[in-house]
């Protein structure tokens, strides 16, 4: 299918994604509840910082950071790895392959279609952050908003493409869900989801700066809370989009080679 035809099909795919998100809103509510770890960490770290600041973070800084982390987590989530695993094992991937558009566009549209529903959670939390700890809870400049939105999209792309790459590995092995569990464990430690990356020792901080995890959550959170000046933010965005490009090459390479191994039988 040509790029032009794909672009023409995308609005329909997105409408289907929104409809599915509305139909399965109870399931999405459960998913939101399962991603409240930043709120738990906020209570923990603000209690610690009440005695004395931790690094550059006081109590209000932790409130600002973890509310932003909760918002960013909602907007960068993806679940394509589990869908691909399931459809490869059940053979239902064959139904997607019969359509005149790559299944990857379908997975992306289903993930993005959930965004309007997530805004019902994100907007009140962001408003609460502004009300409780001030306007530094959101970008204070026009370029800050632009960089934040670009980083948010970049964070979602890295998450989605990693999901595609790991999900596609199920075409090479019985199941790749355990690999996804390993990735998630590293993600929780290195992404800034449980604590700010700034709190790592310098050596670990240098390593984390070159890994993709920080650019899934930590960078959008830092840009949302005005942690960087223009030049530093631009450099970090460059690193994030290098990871987007690298993950795009890896995931498409694995997908195209893996499809040659796919076989499904009807009964």
pLDDT tens digits, one per residue of 73-102: 999 988 899 999 999 888 888 888 888 888
Give Cα 56 to chain centroid, integer Å. 26
pTM above 0.85, yes or no: yes
Q: Which residue has the tokens 């289907």?
A: 16
Is 90 exceeded by the pLDDT of residue 259? no
Stretch 158-178: mean pLDDT = 91
* 128, 218 contact by CB (below 8 A): no
Torsion sign across C-alpha atoms 155, 156, 157, 163 = positive
Look at residues 88, 138, 80 and name the one whose alpha carbon lies nearest to residue 114: 80
Least confident of 55-59, 180-184, 213-217: 55-59
- Cross-strand bridge partners of residue 54: 57
CA dist., res. 97 & res. 103, Å (int)? 6
Residues in the chain: 267
Q: Three-class SS of residue 57?
A: strand
Q: Which residue has the tokens 């790029």?
A: 3
pLDDT at 266: 54
Look at residues 77, 80, 82 and name the one whose alpha carbon lies nearest to residue 38: 77
pLDDT at 237: 96
**Per-residue pLDDT tens over the stretch 204-250:** 889 999 999 999 999 999 999 999 999 999 999 999 999 999 999 99
């Amino acid at each position: 299918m040509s790029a032009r035809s794909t672009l023409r099909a995308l609005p329909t795919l997105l409408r289907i994604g929104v409809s599915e998100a509305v139909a399965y809103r109870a399931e999405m509510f459960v998913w939101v509840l399962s991603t409240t770890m930043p709120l738990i960490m906020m209570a923990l770290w603000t209690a610690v910082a009440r005695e004395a600041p931790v690094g550059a973070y006081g109590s209000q800084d932790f409130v600002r950071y973890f509310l932003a982390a909760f918002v960013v987590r909602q907007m960068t989530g993806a679940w394509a790895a589990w869908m691909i695993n399931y459809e490869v094992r059940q053979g239902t991937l064959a139904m997607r392959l019969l359509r005149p558009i790559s299944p990857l566009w379908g997975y992306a549209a289903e993930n993005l279609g959930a965004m309007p529903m997530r805004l019902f959670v994100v907007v009140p939390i962001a408003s609460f952050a502004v009300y409780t700890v001030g306007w530094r809870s959101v970008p204070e400049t026009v370029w800050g908003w632009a960089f934040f939105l670009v980083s948010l999209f970049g964070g979602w792309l890295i998450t989605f493409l990693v999901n595609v790459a790991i999900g596609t590995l199920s075409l090479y092995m019985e199941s790749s869900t355990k690999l996804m569990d390993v990735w998630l464990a590293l993600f929780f430690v290195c992404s800034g989801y449980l604590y700010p990356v700034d709190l790592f020792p310098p050596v670990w901080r240098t390593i984390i700066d070159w890994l993709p995890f920080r650019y899934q959550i930590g960078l959008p959170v830092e840009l949302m809370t005005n942690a960087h000046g223009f030049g530093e933010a631009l450099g970090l965005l460059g690193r994030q989009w290098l990871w987007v490009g690298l993950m795009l090459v890896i995931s498409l390479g694995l997908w195209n080679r893996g499809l040659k191994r796919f076989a499904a039988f009807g009964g």
